[in-house]
């Protein structure tokens, strides 16, 4: 998709409001570029970019591409028949993929890239917040907002640049980090990967991009990550640091003690024990924090200082984000859309819930549902009751016979209390009607189910 020559002094972003795209647009705007772009609809993110000085149009049309555009930035979600992309081709404006633009922004910095099938956004955010707390002012590009719209990216004065490395479209092959984290390796993104062998090959290519003398931080617990480690360990110029509860881990997790919505984590590091607080619940997030700790140490950040600073991270929007409480019911938003993520978030919330855990789940992508419906259903069995919406298509066209009923049937086979809700607008009232004081309601999925949290609170308030 990339054209040979491009520059980023006046880039035009197609789909500028997207999580990855908006972060790059923000950094470039702050660096002084003349940024323009378009998005399908108005959003808080679009408003935040305009406030910084970017020119953003709503809707996609050829005339949105300004005369002075030096390049067109696209993500893999942009279709080839997009009118702005077609106009750029006709006018000879270079087209650059989002990953190449990010690679260019990381140039000249000490890059730390976070990869894995899931957990990337949380781990990248933990590092960004902790390094900022220590006064290192890192640059970062994250796939989700820390708090306010536009907080998914920052142009810092420090030498470190922390970024998510997305394996979904193999775009993480573009980066050359000094330190890389691989949290887990699983089969996902079925439109781009046909087998685990293809996944391993892709992650091996990413590891091969680590700078000579650099460090790979990789899970010692996850089977796919261990297999990957066996394939890359011993490469010349590569230090491998394994993290996890496994006895052979370089940085070994000795204990994770939950305290409500926080955890106290103890690790063994170079023969000494180090205990610190993780201010988000669950083992899944504690392990992310340990990976972040190991990566920061590889960059030369003192271990004890970094461990304490990691406690200042309190979450990312949509990653177990508390939306509010009404009538004694807490409503929490979860971005989980892969079965492993779903199970991890449900287990984390179960430990913090006084009453029942109720889930409003929206499947994301027809291809993912086709491949993983059974596992999604099994994950929903960890809730006390679930309501499942229709599939959020995102960039995909429907697949005949693939509906949310596949997940519902699997969940029932696993013993779950689960029902379907085909009317998006009726879901909030339905969940509010099910909930009682002391319950936790989880809106779960990577689509627009996140918008229903406030509506559920409003219904509960009545």
Catalytically active residues are 120-121, 164
Strands, sheet with 385-388, edge to edge from the N-terminal-most edge strand: 319-326, 329-334, 440-444, 357-361, 385-388, 418-420
DSSP 438: T
Q: Which helix (H) or strand (E) element contains residue 121?
A: helix 120-133
Strands (E), 192-235: 214-219
Given a contact cutoff of 8 angstroms between Cβ atoms, the answer to whether 357 and 380 are in contact is no
Closest CA to 319 of 16, 19, 10, 52: 19
The pair of structure tokens assigned to 382 is: 């960890």
Q: Cα–Cα distance between 36 and 28 in angstroms, integer?
A: 11
Q: Cα–Cα distance between 296 and 445 in angstroms, integer?
A: 30
Q: Cα–Cα distance between 75 and 16 in angstroms, integer?
A: 9
Closest CA to 461 of 435, 442, 440: 435
Number of CB atoms found within 10 A of residue 50's CB: 13
Phi/psi at 453 (nearest 5 deg)? -55, -55
Map residue 3 onto helix, strand or coil.
coil
Q: Which helix (H) or strand (E) element contains residue 369?
A: helix 366-380
Length of the chain as a residue count? 462
Question: How many Cα atoms within 13 Å fall on the side-chain side of residue 388?
Answer: 28
DSSP 396: P
Q: Cα–Cα distance between 356 and 433 in angstroms, integer?
A: 14
Given a contact cutoff of 8 angstroms between Cβ atoms, the answer to whether 112 and 180 are in contact is yes
Number of CB atoms found within 10 A of residue 150's CB: 21
């Amino acid at each position: 998709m990339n054209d040979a020559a491009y520059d980023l002094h006046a880039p035009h972003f197609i789909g500028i409001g997207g999580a990855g795209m908006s972060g790059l647009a923000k950094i470039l705007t702050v660096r002084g570029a003349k940024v323009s772009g378009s998005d399908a609809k108005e959003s808080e993110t679009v408003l935040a970019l305009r406030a910084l000085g970017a020119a953003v149009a709503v809707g996609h049309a050829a005339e949105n591409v300004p005369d002075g555009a030096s390049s067109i930035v696209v993500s893999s979600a942009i279709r080839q028949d997009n009118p702005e992309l077609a106009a750029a081709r006709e006018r000879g404006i270079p087209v650059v993929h989002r990953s190449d633009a990010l690679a260019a922004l990381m140039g000249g910095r000490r890059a730390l890239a976070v990869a894995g099938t899931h957990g990337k956004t949380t781990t990248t955010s933990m590092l960004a917040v902790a390094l900022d707390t220590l006064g290192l002012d890192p640059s970062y590009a994250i796939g989700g907002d820390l708090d306010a719209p536009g907080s998914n990216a920052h142009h810092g004065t420090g030498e470190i640049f922390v970024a998510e490395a997305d394996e979904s479209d193999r775009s993480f092959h573009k980066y050359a980090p000094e330190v890389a984290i691989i949290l887990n390796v699983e089969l996902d993104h079925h439109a781009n990967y046909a087998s685990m062998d293809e996944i391993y090959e892709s992650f091996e290519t990413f590891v091969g991009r680590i700078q000579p003398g650099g460090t790979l931080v990789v899970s010692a617990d996850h089977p796919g990550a261990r297999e990957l480690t066996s394939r890359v360990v011993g490469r010349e110029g590569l230090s491998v640091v394994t993290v996890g509860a496994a006895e052979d881990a370089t940085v070994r997790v000795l204990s994770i003690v939950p305290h409500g919505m926080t955890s106290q984590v103890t690790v063994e590091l170079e023969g000494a024990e180090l205990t610190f607080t993780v201010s988000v619940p669950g083992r899944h997030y504690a392990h992310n924090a340990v990976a972040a700790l190991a990566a920061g140490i590889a960059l030369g950040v003192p271990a004890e200082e970094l461990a304490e600073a990691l406690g200042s991270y309190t979450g990312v929007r949509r990653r177990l984000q508390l939306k509010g409480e009404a009538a004694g019911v807490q409503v929490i938003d979860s971005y989980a859309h892969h079965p492993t993520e779903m199970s991890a978030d449900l287990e984390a919330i179960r430990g913090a819930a006084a009453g029942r855990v109720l889930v409003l789940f929206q499947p994301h992508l027809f291809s993912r549902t086709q491949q993983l419906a059974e596992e999604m259903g099994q994950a929903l069995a960890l809730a006390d009751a679930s309501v499942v919406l229709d599939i959020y298509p995102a960039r995909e066209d429907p697949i005949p016979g693939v509906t949310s009923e596949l997940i519902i049937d699997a969940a029932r086979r696993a013993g779950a209390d689960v029902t379907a809700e085909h009317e998006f607008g009726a879901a909030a009232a339905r969940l509010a009607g099910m909930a009682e004081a002391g319950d936790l309601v989880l809106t779960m999925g990577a689509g627009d189910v996140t918008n229903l949290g406030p509506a559920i609170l409003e219904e509960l308030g009545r």
